Structure 1
Amino acid sequence: MARMSKRAFNNVVIFAMLGMIFLFNLDRFVPESKLPANQPLLPEGVYVLKIEQHSQKLERVGQQWRFVGLNESLSTSPEQHIQAWRDAVIQASKPPRSVDQTEPLVAVVWVAGQAQGLVYAFVKQDQNLWVNVDSQWYIVVNQRLDQLLPWLQHSQEM
């Protein structure tokens, strides 16, 4: 067996410890994987109970859906709008500065099993619909604001 001086052995121990520190922190040195290109607006498998925006609501009544807070009926059904929420796809993107400075329309989606609602802040600007979810900005790829919050179009006509 090879003999090492005390100084050489200390160097081996130091380099071994540095190697272990590197291995334990390897995830910090590897570049982060990017978020999926497209993801659903609503998390997979959630049971939606109600969608609120200001005083208007789209709520579940048994197996059906209904609008609450509207004086007149809309030309589309509540089921079409809840399906729009389920079909909506978002894509992570960095918004322009003006989006951060615009007052958003806030909608809260209440889901079964959670004490807090899911908060969505929508900003429509330059043909894009931006949504802020958990302090991250996304572009809604395949839905318009009036498909998600139908009472907005109704209130603008009045």
Structure 2
Amino acid sequence: MVKLSKTGWNNVIIFAVMGFILVINLTNKKIFSVDENLNNEQEIALIGPQNIILTLSINDIVAIERIGRTWRATPANISRQALDQMMMSWQQSMGEAMAQAPEVDRQFSLEVKLDIAGQEQPLALNFYATEQQLLIFNQTTKQWLVMPIAMYGQLFPQEIFAG
């Protein structure tokens, strides 16, 4: 066994722990950084999981508001479970950024306003459904996003417009 003083052993332990932390950080960066960089370059969160939606208004016809941990829709055409799934879709949706603005007929848009906790101005989005894709214009950032057309049914269930 190597004879070291108490200070010497303390230095050995400190360097061993620092080496172990360095190994963990390097492997963590190799495992997670590639996937995160790819996703950050291609996809942008519609709302973002860290943002809390307080109210959602669709064309000033349908209003959805947060009541504690649940949601209330006015008019109340949608079941609680479907409403919870709809709002979860809003929270988790990701779209790909578009390089240039597409040609759309602006009269066929759905205008959505979202009040987000901690933000003074509501987030204003315009949705345009085509045969192949769902186009979103973020009026706040002046950015276009594209999603699969299947997301339209998750973000805007048919029951929400019934009645």
What is the number of equivalent residue pairs in this alignment? 119
TM-superposed CA distance for 1:117, in Å, is 0.6
TM-score of the pair, normalised by structure 1: 0.65
Alpha-carbon distance change, 74 to 127 in structure 1, aligned in 2, over 3 angstroms: farther
* 1:128 pairs with one of 126, 133, 136: 133
TM-score of the pair, normalised by structure 2: 0.63
Alpha-carbon distance change, 143 to 39 in structure 1, aligned in 2, over 3 angstroms: farther
Measure, in 2, the Cα distance between the counterparts of 1:60 and 1:45: 16
* 1:38 pairs with one of 39, 43, 52: 43
Which has a greater percent of helix? 2
Residue matched to 1:57: 63
Q: Identify unmatched segments of 5+ residues in structure 2.
A: 1-39
Alpha-carbon distance change, 73 to 136 in structure 1, aligned in 2, over 3 angstroms: closer
Residue matched to 2:123: 118
The reply on whether 1:140 has 2:144 as its aligned counterpart is: no
Residue matched to 2:156: 149
TM-superposed CA distance for 1:154, in Å, is 3.2
Q: Identify unmatched segments of 5+ residues in structure 1.
A: 1-34
Structure 1 vs Structure 2 CA RMSD: 2.4
The reply on whether 1:78 has 2:83 as its aligned counterpart is: yes
Q: Is the 8 A contact 1:50 1:57 kept in 2?
A: yes
Alpha-carbon distance change, 118 to 38 in structure 1, aligned in 2, over 3 angstroms: same
Measure, in 2, the Cα distance between the counterparts of 1:156 and 1:47: 24
TM-superposed CA distance for 1:49, in Å, is 0.5
Measure, in 1, the Cα distance between the counterparts of 2:161 and 2:73: 17
Residue matched to 1:67: 73
AA at the equivalent of 1:135: K
Measure, in 2, the Cα distance between the counterparts of 1:156 and 1:45: 28
